[in-house]
Amino acid sequence: MTIAEAQRTTGIYPQEKRTDGESTDHLSLDIAVVGAGIIGIMTALGLLYAGHKVTVYERADDYYEVGAAMAFTGVARECMKQLNPSVLEALQRVGEANRHPMNRYWDGFSPTSKEAAQSEESLLFQQSARELDYTGCLRSVYLREMAKSLPEGVVKFGKSLKSYSEETESVELRFADGSVAQADAVIACDGIHSRTRRLLLGENNPASRPSFTHKVAYRAIIPITDSIAALGDDKANNQCAHMGPDAHALSFPVAQWTLSNVFVFLHDPKPWPDPHKMTLEVTKSEMIPSLSKWSPSMRELVEKMPEQVFKWAIFDMADHPANAYARGRVCLAGDAAHASSPFHGAGACMGVEDALALVSVLDRALSKASGSSKAEVVGAALQAYSAVRLERTQWLVRSSREMGEIYEWRYPATGSDPAKIKAEIESRSRQIWDFHVDRMVAEANTECDRRLKRLGKEDPVGGDYPISLAS
């Protein structure tokens, strides 16, 4: 079957509202996104904005996000803007930036009084907040705010992927409820325990499953007034990190500075009993012995947490990274591809970059290919995405795990030396914020061109005009 001179579907915005300078007069694709989390919905919005038909398949019965809060860097927000302006606008409506111009790192262990803990003497070091330029938000609130921009019927709930197969004309997805769907391409954003990853890489492949980092987090959201009582007004109203031996804490305001999101991280040398059950509800007394010698402020902050808190086992893909994020017309994005620990605060940001890279290469492949089958064109685009994203995302996963050790004075090269810790964090953070979004897109497009040339059927003119793709 040949599809000739087809135009893109309208998507969320009229075609003329594209702002990247590219014509939208191309063939559109029918794309399945697996997973309706933050990155899944964001990717869907980007694809719709580019004019593709999109269906999102979510195994839960409603939108569901694990974790209380998250933050996005300035780089991630630039990606959002290019992906679909509604993605950034949703964040701006529900997010908040750090009020203090510096990210400050405090000694949470040594001070013997609350007064000492709030004094400059307990400040280990500080870094400019301008470069990373975080905007924080509640995960579930942001997810639902983004989802308001989706056309009705795009998300299909209660769809748990069981298997897929690549047929001549499409990818066939089979779900646990017995239903079947077809798509030109599949983008899996189904999280750290991705079913699609296991199908794509193989059930027996170690890279198909995450590993325990030997870090656990106790998290709770408390009234900002309680955080002020424990930490003081200045610390409570800004992002604040406290370091110490075998533990560290992070707190920052959310919900327009009415609530404080509090994480207490502990090193846990024991194996985690059940990798499929990463969260437990426990009493806060469980963490008290590990913090019994910490400063009065930190012990009081724990006391302000509710009696029952969530304990989160932190898993990532550092031990067994995937050697590719795409096979054929199926690819992985976000945590499904490169689940990270939270110690860089940039795991979700990598997923935003993924989404923009994916939309870009699919656009490029459709605009540059002529005479190739749809399967070949989609495959070339997804392989280009994988090649461009592997190095940066897997560096982030490794570095983030090491950052957890740095914060807890367990990293041999830095120990508890504030100057060495600061230098190490600055060096690593620079790789996150000193990143050119347009360069990433250009590199992805170049890689896509290279793979299309392998097919021997690249459009030599490179014109943006309607094309014929043989399915």
Single-letter residue type at 89: E
Predicted local confidence at residue 18, as pLDDT? 38
In the chain, what is the greatest distance between 2 CA atoms, to the nearest angstrom? 76
H or E element that contains 186: strand 185-188
Predicted local confidence at residue 14, as pLDDT? 37
Indicate the angle between helix axes 74-83 and 85-94, nearest 10 degrees: 130
β-strand pairing of 180-183 with 171-175: antiparallel
Encoded tokens for 466: 């309607």
Predicted local confidence at residue 456, as pLDDT? 65
C-beta of residue 188 within 8 angstroms of C-beta of residue 196 = yes
How far is the C-alpha of 28 from the C-alpha of 393, rounded, in Å? 28
96 beta partners? 136
Measured at the alpha carbon of residue 394, what is the angle toward residues 388 and 398, in degrees to the nearest 5?
Answer: 160
Predicted local confidence at residue 368, as pLDDT? 86
C-beta of residue 252 within 8 angstroms of C-beta of residue 240 = yes
Mean pLDDT in runs of 10 for the chain (471 residues)? 30 39 61 98 98 97 79 96 98 87 94 94 92 88 96 98 94 98 98 97 97 96 96 92 97 87 95 90 95 96 95 97 98 98 96 98 90 91 98 98 98 98 97 96 97 69 32 33
Q: Could you give the C-alpha distances from 123 to 106, 116, 131, 344, in angstroms and in order?
A: 5, 10, 20, 20
Predicted local confidence at residue 261, as pLDDT? 87
Encoded tokens for 274: 């059940």
Measured at the alpha carbon of residue 140, what is the angle toward residues 136 and 145, in degrees to the nearest 5?
Answer: 85
C-beta of residue 28 within 8 angstroms of C-beta of residue 7 = yes
How far is the C-alpha of 152 from the C-alpha of 269, rounded, in Å? 47
C-beta of residue 40 within 8 angstroms of C-beta of residue 34 = yes
Centre a 10 Å sphere on the Cβ of residue 81 and count the other Cβ atoms it contains: 15
Three-class SS state of 43: helix
Three-class SS state of 422: helix
C-beta of residue 367 within 8 angstroms of C-beta of residue 222 = no
What region, left, alpha or beta, does residue 214 occupy, with left being phi > 0 and alpha being psi -120 to 50 degrees? left
Indicate the angle between helix axes 38-49 and 347-368, nearest 10 degrees: 30
Nearest to 352 by CA among 54, 48, 71: 71
Please, what sign has the CA dihedral across residues 119, 120, 124, 127?
Answer: positive
Centre a 10 Å sphere on the Cβ of residue 392 and count the other Cβ atoms it contains: 16
Measured at the alpha carbon of residue 93, what is the angle toward residues 89 and 99, in degrees to the nearest 5?
Answer: 110
H or E element that contains 255: none
C-beta of residue 416 within 8 angstroms of C-beta of residue 360 = no
Show the beta-strand stretches assigned E in 5-160.
30-34, 53-58, 69-72, 96-97, 102-107, 123-128, 135-138, 155-157
Nearest to 57 by CA among 159, 178, 188, 210: 159
Predicted local confidence at residue 389, as pLDDT? 98
CA atoms within 13 A on the CB side of 302: 24
Nearest to 231 by CA among 311, 288, 137, 303: 303
Predicted local confidence at residue 455, as pLDDT? 85
How far is the C-alpha of 438 from the C-alpha of 435, rounded, in Å? 9
Catalytically annotated residues: 219
- Which residues fall within 8 angstroms of residue 43, CB to CB, at 6 or more apart? 33, 187, 189, 333, 354, 355, 358, 359
